A and B are shown apart, each in its own frame.
Chain A
Amino acid sequence: MSDITWGLWELLLKGVWITVQLTVYSAALAAVAAFGIGLARTHRRWIVRFLSGAYFEIFRGTSALILMFWMFFVLPMGFGWQLAPMWAAVLTLGLTYGAYGSEVVRGAIAAVPPGQREAGVALSFSPAQTLRKIVLPQAWPGMVPPFNNLLIELLKGTALVSILGVGDIAFGASLVRNATAQSAPVYTIILVMYFVLAFALTRGMRAVERHAKAGIGQAPAGRSRLRPATGPTVTGATAPAEGEAR
């Protein structure tokens, strides 16, 4: 521990900042993709459902790391598009986790009782109004816990960028390891850093969940402090007893 000088600490802290940036930007892109694709998958036209379903299956079927390699090496070689490494990473992570998120959005919207939509029709709301004023406010609290899980997965996924040379926490750690010729201290430190970031995210999402539930007059369920109920990569088949709040 004592071998890590202030300069090396600075490397790690810069890495933390890059990781935080990557997480925030990717999460923003993933949220847009999740709502866009999730809503498109409930569209009346089959072609929209088919295309958005294909997007979901492709991005869910492939590995984020492979996709990242593809964005880094194939896009420049094959198409002549060179993205800055940071943005290629954000694009990959955002699109991948957006695909997982679209399943959450779709499921939560499907779980709103049909009578609610019918009420929208009876009140002669337009489809957009029904969605915005009736369906989404009720579906939203159910989305928050699975979104929390996805956010943690996204944070963990940002470590992949270090393989491609973006200077995040894990990349900083490899530099520190080379400088100090010791692995145990630096890797322990960065594991704790990631854990603290994940804990902060979970705490933040808890607050969002409380707010969302209060918005539709439900008390928040009492749960342990740090317990992502399901893995986020669980899509498609979901066991009945698992915590996808419905």
Chain B
Amino acid sequence: MKFDWSAVGAFLPTFWNGVLVTLQALALGSLIAFGLGLVWALAQRSSLKVVRWPVTALTEFVRNTPLLVQLFFLFYVMPEWGVTLSALATGVIGLGLHYSTYTAEVYRSGIDGVPAGQWEAAIALSLPRRRTWTAVILPQAIRRVAPALGNYVIAMLKDSPMLFAIGVLEMLGEARQFSSQTFQTVEPYTVVGVAFIAIAYPASLLLRALERRLVR
């Protein structure tokens, strides 16, 4: 096997563009996943069946079907409904929506893990409902589940190459383009593969440290 380092050098400029797009998709996707996940988690605790059931059905459905197919669905079907978004925007929404169903479970377990005494204390202090959530329950719940949420950011990073299938030029997309232009396949794919490990491994070490600090 020959590994051509000059091809690596030629690939690097476009590679950095790809890294930037990947990180962009990851950051925006995480924001959607964290926000929407909390909405799902709270909706699933609602006392109204009309709210609880559709949300539970939707999250179960989204979680049990492939992200890739959901991306195709968003990318091809939304324009048929008159909503046209860029490939990156579609990818970010797909990634965020898919992972929001996972973060919803994480929030749920965090909220369930808050001791009952905390709820009782909030009632004893006659805190209003909103303040019970924002000042008592959620700060404790989110602190406990922060590492688990972080794990999903890493999982999203690893699923971000799927965005290439709808034409987003993230790391894998750039590698694909480079190899089809220069007919050098070994180097770009290897660079991208190594880049993923180089990002994901330190991130998981960081999370383990965070877990030791936050979860006691």
Residues of A within 8 A of B (CB): 57-58, 60-67, 69-70, 73-74, 77-79, 152, 155-160, 162-163, 169-170, 173-174, 177, 182-184, 187-188, 190-191, 194-195, 198-199, 226-231, 233-243
A242 CA / B179 CA spacing, docked (Å): 43
A229 CA / B112 CA spacing, docked (Å): 13
Extra 6 A-B pairs, beta carbons < 8 Å, given A63-B157, A187-B73: A63-B160, A156-B67, A169-B69, A183-B76, A235-B204, A237-B147
Chain A residues with CB below 8 A from B175, complex form: 69
CB distance from A232 to the nearest CB of B (A): 9
Choose from B69, B105, B113 the contact partner of A230 (Cβ within 8 Å).
B105
Choose from A57, A65, A73, A195 the contact partner of B162 (Cβ within 8 Å).
A65
Nearest CB in chain B to that of A191: its residue: B65
Q: Is the CB of A66 within 8 A of B192?
A: yes
Q: Is the CB of B72 within 8 A of A194?
A: no
Q: Is the CB of A195 within 8 A of B215?
A: no
Residues of B within 8 A of A (CB): 1-3, 60-61, 63-70, 72-73, 76-77, 80-81, 102, 105-106, 109-110, 112-113, 144-145, 147-148, 150-152, 154-155, 157-162, 164-165, 172, 175-176, 179, 185-186, 189-190, 192-193, 196-197, 200-201, 204, 207-208, 210-211, 215
Q: Is the CB of B193 within 8 A of A66?
A: yes
A233 CA / B211 CA spacing, docked (Å): 16
Choose from A66, A191, A234, A238 the contact partner of B69 (Cβ within 8 Å).
A191
How many A-B Cβ pairs are below 8 Å?
177
CB distance from B94 to the nearest CB of A (A): 12
Q: Is the CB of A199 within 8 A of B64?
A: yes
Give the dominant DSSP class at B's interface: helix
Chain B residues with CB below 8 A from A198, complex form: 64-65
Chain A residues with CB below 8 A from B3, complex form: 78
Nearest CB in chain B to that of A170: its residue: B69
CB distance from A215 to the nearest CB of B (A): 27
Q: Is the CB of B172 within 8 A of A66?
A: yes
Q: Is the CB of B197 within 8 A of A62?
A: yes
Chain B residues with CB below 8 A from A69, complex form: 172, 175-176, 189
A62 CA / B200 CA spacing, docked (Å): 7
Q: Is the CB of A236 within 8 A of B69?
A: no
Chain A residues with CB below 8 A from B61, complex form: 191, 195
Q: Is the CB of A239 within 8 A of B159?
A: no
Choose from A61, A194, A226 the contact partner of B66 (Cβ within 8 Å).
A194
Q: Is the CB of A243 within 8 A of B200?
A: no
A118 CA / B110 CA spacing, docked (Å): 36
CB distance from A61 to the nearest CB of B (A): 4
Contacts A191-B73, A241-B112 given; indicate if A160 touches B102 (C-beta within 8 A).
no
Q: Is the CB of B65 within 8 A of A170?
A: no
Q: Is the CB of B207 within 8 A of A63?
A: no
Residue from A57, A227, A230, A233 with most neighbouring chain B CB atoms (10 Å): A233
Chain A residues with CB below 8 A from B81, complex form: 184
A155 CA / B64 CA spacing, docked (Å): 9
Q: Is the CB of B68 within 8 A of A61?
A: no
Q: Is the CB of B65 within 8 A of A235?
A: no
Nearest CB in chain B to that of A161: its residue: B68
Nearest CB in chain A to that of B103: its residue: A231
Q: Is the CB of B63 within 8 A of A74?
A: no
Q: Is the CB of B144 within 8 A of A233?
A: no
CB distance from A222 to the nearest CB of B (A): 15
CB distance from B96 to the nearest CB of A (A): 15
A57 CA / B39 CA spacing, docked (Å): 33
Q: Is the CB of A239 within 8 A of B145?
A: yes
A-B contact pairs, 27 of them (CB 8 A): A58-B197, A60-B200, A62-B197, A63-B157, A63-B159, A63-B161, A63-B172, A63-B196, A78-B186, A79-B1, A158-B66, A170-B72, A183-B76, A183-B77, A195-B61, A227-B60, A231-B155, A235-B204, A236-B208, A237-B147, A237-B150, A237-B204, A237-B210, A239-B147, A239-B148, A239-B215, A241-B144
Nearest CB in chain A to that of B81: its residue: A184
Contacts A74-B190, A242-B109 given; indicate if A231 touches B102 (C-beta within 8 A).
yes
Q: Is the CB of A174 within 8 A of B72?
A: yes
Contacts A67-B193, A70-B193, A163-B165 given; indicate if A242 touches B64 (C-beta within 8 A).
no
